[in-house]
Structure 1
Amino acid sequence: MNNETRTLFFSFFNEIGIIAQLSRTALEARLPKGLTLPHFSVINHLIRVRDGQTPLAIARAFQVPKTTMTHTLNGLAENGFVEIRPNPEDGRSKTVWLTDAGRRFRDEAIRSIDPDIEAFRARYPEDKIRALVPDLADIRAVLDANRD
């Protein structure tokens, strides 16, 4: 690979990383006191993929240690956003299920960034964003498939 190609692809992923950091910070600033982006991210993941997963499966999806995920899940359970139930297929493990309060938390968190989205929308209209999303989803799928 030549240096120009390397620089181009590095710049591409660097920009994505900066965008991710800025968007995470904006969302986290609007979350209720005591709740963090990892809390939101787990709820969002369970809605996007499915609930009923084991803590280990969720930890693997986020590429974090199971102990870290257990801490995050305990915080969600304390807030009534998830229920942690025995796994009917394996008595040694648990499964994580969303509650109505957890679904509302996610919806309210997304609504809380409406002012940020409106400001962004003034510069980048919906048609431009709509055109970008499929390529970004494809890039995410490729990276996701290659991570293991």
Structure 2
Amino acid sequence: MDKKSVGTYFSFFNEVAIIEQLSRAMLEARLPNGLIAPHFTVLNHLTRLGDGKTPLDMARAFQVPKTSMTHTLSGLERHGLIEMRPHPKDGRSKQVWLTEEGRKVRERTIDALGPDFQKIAARFPVEQIENGLPLLESVRAYLDKMRDT
């Protein structure tokens, strides 16, 4: 690959990383006190993919050490947003389940982002965002698949 192409790919991922940092700050400003972005991402993950994941499954999905995931989950449990239940097939393991309050916190947080999204929409119409989604989704899916090889 030539140097210009490498630079283009680097610039693409650099922009994605900066967008992630800025959007994380925006999200954390809307979260209830005591919660941070990793807490929200767990709530979102369980909402999207379903309850009953083990902490190890989640650590792998988030590509973090199990100890980091355990710490994040314990914070969510303290806030009453998840429940840890014994795994029915493996007595040594637990499963993570969203509570009704966890679902509500996720929804309220998304609602609280509405004014921020309204400001963004004034500059970037929803059609532009929709047009960009397929590329981002495709790159994410490819990178997700790559990590297993």
Match of 2:56 in 1: 56
Report deviation, 1:99: 1.0
Match of 1:2 in 2: 2
Q: Which amino acid aligns with 1:56?
A: L
Matches of 1:81 and 1:32, distance apart in 2: 12
Structure 1's unaligned 5+ residue stretches are none
Match of 1:89 in 2: 89
Identity of aligned residues (%): 55
Report deviation, 1:135: 1.7
Q: Which amino acid aligns with 2:85?
A: R
Match of 1:32 in 2: 32
Report deviation, 1:115: 1.2
Structure 2's unaligned 5+ residue stretches are none
Q: Which amino acid aligns with 1:85?
A: R
1:95-137 residue CA offsets vs partner (Å, 9 max, x unmatched): 0011111110101111111111000000111111111112211
Report deviation, 1:32: 1.0
Match of 1:42 in 2: 42
Extract structure 1 runs of 4+ deviating beyond 2 A.
none
Report deviation, 1:142: 0.5
Q: Which amino acid aligns with 1:122?
A: A
Q: TM-score, normalised by structure 1?
A: 0.97
Report deviation, 1:36: 0.7
Report deviation, 1:66: 0.7
Report deviation, 1:2: 0.7
Q: Which amino acid aligns with 2:41?
A: S
Report deviation, 1:29: 1.4
Match of 2:75 in 1: 75
Matches of 2:93 and 2:147, distance apart in 1: 25
Bigger drift between 20-29 and 127-136 goes to: 127-136
SS of match in other structure, 1:38? helix
Match of 1:102 in 2: 102
Q: Which amino acid aligns with 2:118?
A: E
Q: Does the alignment pair 1:113 with 2:113?
A: yes
1:60-92 residue CA offsets vs partner (Å, 9 max, x unmatched): 111111111111111111111111000001111
Match of 1:137 in 2: 137
Matches of 2:134 and 2:98, distance apart in 1: 27
Report deviation, 1:49: 1.4
Matches of 1:50 and 1:4, distance apart in 2: 42
